[in-house]
Amino acid sequence: MDPVELSKAIFRFEENILKERQNIDNIVETSQNHPTKKRRQDDTIETRKIATKEVCDIFIVNVKERFDYKNHLNASHLFFSTKFPMYENNFPNDHFSKTLKRIKTFLRNSMTED
């Protein structure tokens, strides 16, 4: 997968979840316009509203944690066999340099852990 497309997909996902999160307030406001019989119902609505917003926040955080690290995809561009003939004339130096940088960082971190 292309890192740029992945970033766009993550951004669109976050935008859509945030829209739904904001829509929760509208739904709750509409339902609160109807008279309630007990205080308990008000508490339940507020509790559900808070819980729903927390679920939206958890979705966003988990998606970012899981998919936001995409630097390893730079290395994958170097191994597209269908692009090897093109690489002969126009090698993806940007992907190569980013891959080397990540490898150096990985090795440095693994050496400090040992």
For residues 43 and 95, membership in a common domain is answered with no
The span from the first CA to the last CA of the chain, in angstroms, equals 33
Number of domains present in the structure of the chain: 2
For residues 49 and 2, membership in a common domain is answered with yes
For 17-53, write each residue's pLDDT tens digit: 999 988 987 776 665 555 655 556 667 878 888 999 9
Confidence of residue 97 (pLDDT cuts 50, 70, 90): confident
For residues 40 and 88, membership in a common domain is answered with no
For residues 16 and 59, membership in a common domain is answered with yes
For 64-76, write each residue's pLDDT tens digit: 888 766 666 777 7
DSSP-derived 3-state class of residue 91: coil
For residues 60 and 96, membership in a common domain is answered with no
C-alpha–C-alpha distance, residues 14 and 93, integer Å: 31
For residues 2 and 58, membership in a common domain is answered with yes
Tokens 């730079």 identify what position? 74
72: Cβ contacts below 8 Å, ≥ 6 apart: 102
Instruction: Please give the angle made by the CA atoms of 50, 56 and 62, to the nearest 5 degrees.
Output: 130
Q: Is the separation of the CB atoms in 53 and 26 below 8 Å?
A: no
For residues 52 and 28, membership in a common domain is answered with yes
The C-alpha R_g of the chain, in whole angstroms, comes to 23
Domain that holds residue 111: 71-114
For residues 64 and 81, membership in a common domain is answered with no
For residues 76 and 114, membership in a common domain is answered with yes
Is the predicted pLDDT of residue 111 greater than 70, yes or no?
A: yes
For residues 61 and 76, membership in a common domain is answered with no
Mean pLDDT, rounded, of the chain: 80
| pTM over cut 0.85 | no
Instruction: Please give the angle made by the CA atoms of 45, 49 and 52, to the nearest 5 degrees.
Output: 135
For residues 76 and 87, membership in a common domain is answered with yes
For residues 48 and 75, membership in a common domain is answered with no
Average pLDDT over residues 83-110: 85
| Strand spans (E) along 3-114 | none
